[in-house]
């Protein structure tokens, strides 16, 4: 098994084999919490206008996401697991658009199959890959708004790669590195409305969920299907 760590949009476009699109803060952590909270189907879209159009066509769908970390006008929720868990959700279908994670799905055009990944379901991702036994595994870190690599995504990819290759991980050290680096924004008092401190804890709750979210195709749209491990 050849395991490669790639970065950002160029990495997504170069990905081949079984591809894991990683966005720890917060797209694919939030997606897992939404599924665990009752959502049965997620449409990840890259385009803000398409997301709003789908919501207009299906007002019963939940519309969540962010641009510049904040909830766009007309959205039900921002891209925050804390906000998802604070509400009773009656919808079963969700439209999800973000600056990083969903862009990776759209651009991974050469992948044999795509799943999403975060620390919250890293163990399930690892087990899924081990069961599939692919020749090539691409771990794509989407970074901050697809503009630069981030600690949390790169370390999540490193964690998965180490486990697949039989190497050890120091998760406690990883958390501290993230807290001191790109995760420090969650502790900024001025950002609590859209990046609450609790999101840091929720997104780094290692192996909380024992399922993966696999990208499937429906007409012109991608959707995420829950696969229990």
% of the chain exceeding 70 in pLDDT: 100
Question: Where in the chain are the domains?
Answer: 2-228
CATH topology of domain 2-228: putative 2-phosphosulfolactate phosphatase (3.90.1560)
Average pLDDT over every residue of 20-41: 97
Buried b (16+ CB within 10 A) or exposed e, 103-135: bbbbbbeebeebbbbbbbbbbbbbebbeeeebe
Average pLDDT over every residue of 101-127: 97
Q: What is the pLDDT of residue 178?
A: 98
Q: What's the mean pLDDT when you consider all of the chain?
A: 96
Q: How confident is the model at residue 65 (pLDDT cuts 50, 70, 90)?
A: very high
Q: What is the pLDDT of residue 66?
A: 95
Average pLDDT over every residue of 108-113: 97
Average pLDDT over every residue of 66-79: 94
29: left (phi over 0), alpha (psi -120 to 50) or beta: alpha
Q: How confident is the model at residue 146 (pLDDT cuts 50, 70, 90)?
A: very high
Q: What is the pLDDT of residue 201?
A: 98
Q: How confident is the model at residue 109 (pLDDT cuts 50, 70, 90)?
A: very high
CA 180 to chain centre: 21
Q: What is the pLDDT of residue 85?
A: 94
Q: What is the pLDDT of residue 168?
A: 97
Average pLDDT over every residue of 160-178: 98
Q: Per this entry, what is the length of the chain? A: 229
Give Dmax (Cα) for the chain: 48
Contact 222, 214 (CB under 8 A): no
Strand partners, 139: 5, 20
Q: How confident is the model at residue 160 (pLDDT cuts 50, 70, 90)?
A: very high
Q: Which two tokens stand for residue 207?
A: 């192996």
């Amino acid at each position: 098994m050849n395991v490669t760590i790639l970065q950002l949009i160029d990495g997504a476009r170069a990905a081949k084999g079984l591809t894991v699109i990683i966005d720890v803060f917060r797209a694919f952590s939030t997606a897992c919490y939404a599924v665990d909270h009752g959502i049965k189907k997620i449409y990840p879209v890259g385009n803000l206008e398409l997301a709003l159009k789908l919501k207009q066509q299906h007002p019963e769908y939940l519309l969540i996401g962010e641009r510049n970390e904040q909830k766009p006008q007309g959205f039900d929720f921002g891209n925050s697991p804390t906000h998802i868990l604070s509400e009773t959700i009656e919808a079963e279908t969700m439209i999800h658009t973000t600056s990083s994670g969903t862009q990776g799905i759209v651009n991974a055009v050469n992948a044999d199959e795509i799943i999403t990944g975060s620390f919250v379901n890293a163990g399930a991702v690892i087990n899924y890959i081990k069961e599939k036994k692919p020749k090539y595994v691409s771990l794509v870190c989407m970074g901050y708004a697809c503009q630069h690599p981030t600690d949390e995504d790169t370390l999540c990819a490193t964690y998965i790669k180490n486990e697949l290759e039989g190497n050890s991980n120091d998760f406690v050290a990883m958390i501290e590195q993230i807290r001191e680096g790109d995760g420090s924004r969650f502790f900024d008092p001025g950002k609590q409305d859209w990046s609450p401190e609790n999101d840091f804890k929720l997104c780094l709750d290692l192996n909380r969920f024992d399922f993966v979210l696999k990208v499937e195709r429906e007409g012109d749209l991608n959707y995420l299907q829950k696969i229990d491990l």
